[in-house]
Structure 1
Amino acid sequence: MTERTAPEFTQIIHPWEINPEQRRELIECWTVVSNAGGAVVPLGFPPPPVGTEEVAPAVDELIAGLDPQRGRLLLATIEGDLAGWLVVRRDPHPFIAHWGELNHLQTHPRFRGRGIGTALMHRVQDLAREEMGLEQLHLAARAGMGLEEFYRRLGWREIGRWPGALRLAPGDDRDDILMVLTV
């Protein structure tokens, strides 16, 4: 594996398309990223450390929600290993069906610093526009992690904040930063 190996992308649009190895890798990635302090701990997870027993149900729920029109999983692999992933979702309500929401952008720690997150973000823009017919993408990012600068460099703009929305621990409240990108 070289530093310059570009990721290959796989899009999963139906629950039956994911194989057991991909499911296992998703669980492992989400567990490692959460335990390394990543900002991907969803509601329902206890504070880190987490294990398979907490993460597997969230992965299974994510997989069950895949649908070509409403939710897609984008995997980035390097030489067959899961390097990162994200989910793009569309709400079916007709007033907001022109925009999608990004969730769970993760890069496995052993692939950090290699542009995997950036590559996923560029690929999902094309997918959202060309395959899902979306015009905007939205996301929420945890303050205090440097994430807003990462997204700004990719063309996203902050549209608001929920002050103190996320309580990571007593005395550690973080803003939830709301961002948008026109695709």
Structure 2
Amino acid sequence: MRFVLDPEMTPELFEQLLHCWAEVTNADGAVGFVPPVTPDVIRPTAEKAFARTRSGGGPAAPDRLLAGFGDDGEVAAWLILADNDSLLRAHWRWVLRVMVHPKHQGRGYGRALLRAADDAARSIGLEALQLTCRGGTGVDAFYASAGYQEVGRVPRSIRLAPGDERDEIYMIRWL
């Protein structure tokens, strides 16, 4: 897989990222939506998210898109390194929307994506990466195996449906 920090946001790339997001959601990925979804449901959120990236919003945009492309040149995995809008916290970024297209899952692409995020963060002078994940999915164990440590959780703060609340788990990785 080939990783690119701040790839040019062409209409084709936008659609690939959007469709990946929908496919991940519909495969029960915890990336901000509850299945079933269509790309059109995600589109307004994606437009806002990508407008904040240098890929979609120009060189002054605060966030960074990291995209992984498979051998076929299509998006296989991606995430956003999001600015936290604070000079006091300029040494770290949030890791948002970590996803691997379902057809590529189980091949180590998720771990490769996190390693590429570490490398990208170091290349722009960062010292740490933070993320949140949805409790009850087991993904916190994956992040722990990649060097993230849990630093807190907010019980029942994510509501998937009435009566189905999950913890939001806060994790950090010092680089």
TM over 0.5: yes
Q: 1:139 aligns with which of 128, 131, 134?
A: 131
**One of 2, 12, 33 as aligned partner of 1:8:** 2
The separation in 1 between residues aligned to 2:50 and 2:163, in whole angstroms, is 34
Q: Which consecutive segments of 4 or more residues in structure 1 shift more than 6 A?
A: none
Give the C-alpha shift of residue 148 in structure 1.
0.8
Quote how far apart the aligned CAs of 1:52 are. 2.2
Percent sequence identity over matched residues?
39
Worse-superposed segment, 143-152 or 58-67: 58-67
Unaligned runs of 5+ in 1: 1-6
2:9 to 18, 35, 38: 18
Residue type of the partner of 1:166? I
Q: Distance in 1 between matches of 2:15 and 2:29?
A: 19
Cross-structure match for 1:3: none
SS of corresponding position for 1:95 = helix
Match in the other structure for 1:63: 50
> Structure 1 residue 166 and structure 2 residue 158: aligned?
yes
The TM-score, its normalising length taken from structure 2, stands at 0.91
* Matched residues, number: 169
Partner of 2:122: 129
User: In the aligned structure 2, how far is the partner of 1:159 from the partner of 1:92?
Assistant: 21
The corresponding residue for 1:87 is 80
- Deviation at 1:57? 1.6
Instruction: Write the distance in 1 (CA, Å) between the matches of 2:149 and 2:39.
Output: 35
Distance 1:110 1:36 in 2: 10
Instruction: Provide structure 2 residue ranges, at least 5 long, that are not aligned to the other structure.
Output: none
List aligned pairs for 1:143-158, cutoff 5 A: 143-158=135-150
1:34-72 Cα offsets, whole Å, 9 max, x none, are 11211002xxx5x42111221122221122101357211
Cα RMSD of the aligned pairs, angstroms, is 1.4
- TM-score, with length taken from structure 1: 0.87
In the TM superposition, residue 92 of structure 1 has moved relative to its aligned partner by 3.3
